[in-house]
């Protein structure tokens, strides 16, 4: 119960943000490799996986493994909890769209990803995908560490972030996250990541816009206003 002036507000069951994120990311972290290794049992006519399918599995698994690591050891949350019921809505996005949907269309027999089977002929596609993924993941990790260091453990204190990407946009962590997912999309060589990526980027854009307004309000003239919040030159 939350006490206000002359009233009591029922909050309901709550979950810590760390627990919420662990649950969200655990779905695709398990679903993707399971569907990859169970291909012969899910599809009886499945040929051996192509290089593209194998690398897609590796990139998706590494991405969500990194997410779990950051949740447990890097992120510091200003809000302690969220309503328990929200975990189902949030998890559906990750488990269904980021896990089962991408895995099904990427690993099924006849998938466009199956055509990425030869380094000699598909080197350009796979190299671009890998470079974008590595750049995005490392950049995202670095920006998360910068943001972590601005908030001392156990406090809600914040500072003005500086460093890689922060001179260009408000939230380069979202920029690098988008870059990594573009790399994954290219590697899967099909449209299945888009139902996950499009709403995710849209949500991050809204968060970044709010963050820009918050920085301006909190720090005033000390903060250098950004014209673009997530995608340099575009938004």
pLDDT at 145: 95
| Residue ranges in the chain modelled with pLDDT below 70 | 1-12, 78-80, 153-156
Q: Which tens digits make up the pLDDT trace of 105-127?
A: 999 999 999 999 988 889 999 99
pLDDT the model gives residue 8: 39
Position 12 scores a pLDDT of 65
Segment 31-65, tens digit of pLDDT: 999 999 999 999 998 999 999 999 999 999 999 99
State residue 80's pLDDT score. 64
Burial 96-133 (b: 16+ CB within 10 A, else e): bbbbbbbbebbbbeebebbbbbeeeebeeebeebbebb
pLDDT number for residue 82: 72
């Amino acid at each position: 119960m939350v006490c206000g002036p002359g009233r009591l507000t029922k909050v309901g069951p709550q979950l810590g943000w760390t627990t919420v994120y662990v649950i969200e990311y655990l779905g695709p972290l398990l679903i993707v490799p399971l569907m990859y290794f169970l291909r012969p049992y899910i599809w009886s006519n499945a040929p051996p996986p192509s290089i593209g399918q194998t690398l897609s599995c590796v990139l998706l698994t590494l991405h969500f493994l990194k997410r779990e690591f950051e949740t447990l050891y890097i992120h510091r949350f200003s809000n302690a909890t969220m309503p328990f019921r929200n975990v189902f809505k949030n998890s559906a996005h990750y488990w269904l769209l980021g896990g089962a949907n991408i895995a099904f269309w990427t690993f099924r027999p006849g998938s466009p990803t199956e055509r990425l089977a030869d380094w000699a002929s598909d080197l350009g596609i796979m190299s671009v995908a890998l470079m974008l993924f590595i750049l995005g993941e490392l950049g995202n990790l670095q920006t998360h560490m910068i943001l972590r260091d601005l908030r001392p453990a156990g406090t809600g204190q914040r500072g003005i972030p500086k460093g890689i990407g922060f001179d260009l946009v408000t939230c380069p962590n979202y920029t690098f996250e988008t870059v990594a997912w573009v790399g994954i999309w290219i590697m899967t060589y099909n449209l299945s990541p888009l139902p996950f990526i499009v709403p995710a980027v849209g949500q991050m854009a809204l968060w970044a816009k709010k963050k820009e307004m918050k920085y301006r309000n909190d720090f005033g003239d000390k903060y250098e206003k950004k014209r673009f919040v997530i995608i340099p030159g575009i938004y």
